Structure 1
Amino acid sequence: MSEAKAVFDSMLGRFDADEADDMEAVFQFDLDDADNYHLSVEDGKCEMGEGEHDDPTVTLSMDLETLKDVMSGELDGMQAFMQGKIRADGDIMLATKLTQIFPQ
């Protein structure tokens, strides 16, 4: 299993359906140094897909290390965004909810 897939698998395991209750969104992750993945959240469920989604709600571009640091809580996502480590396109406010939907 790729390192990137392992990160997304662990995110799926931490998915908080209560936090994502009314959410309907597709998070596209474009990783500079790994395969791209997307997470679709709908009806309190989350599904992972490989590659590009046709119509993502928000696209987040970063390297794998940044993704791991943000999802492990070592790096604040907003701080990483301000430092230019994460580039976002689309519904940027949605991106701020990632750590609530996938808590540590």
Structure 2
Amino acid sequence: MSDARTRFEELRPVIDGGSRDELLTHIGDQPGGIDGVLGLVFELTPESFRAEKARKGEGTFQYEITTPEGPKFYHVSVDHGTCEVGQGQLDSPKVTIGIDVDDFLKLTTGKLAGPQAFMTGKMKVSGNTFFAIKWRDWFSTL
């Protein structure tokens, strides 16, 4: 198991079972704080990529993650079976997903389902919403 995977697995109990305040406190105490934890998630994202399902697809998912420190921006680009992640805002992503950091972390572990997050207003989607749905096919939970 990679160091990044081990660190994420140590966070999982708080992500899956802690309150929002407990989670924010816990991730604030991690190396690099919120930025370190988000960096860890996006570092692990290519491991959850199902290349065989995305061989004919392409596009970029832009994330705007709301944190107590202000918004954090990351993106995941898929291009015919390849996946790359990065930090920052893109000019024209295919879809933009806005979500609070605690809900984002629960989404990554499967504790919060994407459709549920969207329907309850915990996740905002702009751009090509049909493309956003592909995430479920192209990526597994961490």
Contact 1:32 1:62 in 2 (8 A): yes
Instruction: Report the count of equivalent residues.
Output: 104
Report the equivalent of 1:31: 65
* Map 1:30-49 → 2, pairs under 5 A: 30-33=64-67, 35-49=72-86
Q: Secondary structure at the match of 1:21?
A: coil
Which structure has the higher relative contact order (CA within 8 Å, separation 6+)?
1
Report the equivalent of 1:55: 92
2:115 alignment partner, one of 71, 78, 87: 78
Q: Please give the per-residue CA displacement for 1:19-52, whole angstroms capped at 9, x wherever unaligned.
A: 1111110000001115210011002101111110
Structure whose alpha-carbon radius of gyration is higher: 2
Cα distance in structure 1, aligned partners of 2:101 and 2:50: 22
- Which segment is superposed worse, 27-36 or 83-92? 27-36
**Unmatched runs of 5 consecutive residues or more in structure 2:** 1-31
More helix by percentage: 2
Report the equivalent of 1:64: 101
**What code does the residue aligned with 1:96 have?**
I
Q: Secondary structure at the match of 2:52?
A: coil
Cα distance in structure 2, aligned partners of 1:74 and 1:51: 26
TM-score w.r.t. the length of structure 2 is: 0.69
Give the ranges of 4+ consecutive aligned residues of structure 1 lying more than 2 Å apart after TM superposition: none
Q: Is 1:13 paired with 2:47?
A: yes
Q: Could you tell me how far 1:13 is from its partner in structure 2?
A: 1.2
CA RMSD of aligned residues (A): 1.3
**What code does the residue aligned with 2:37 have?**
E
TM-score w.r.t. the length of structure 1 is: 0.92
Q: Secondary structure at the match of 2:107?
A: helix
Contact 1:25 1:57 in 2 (8 A): yes
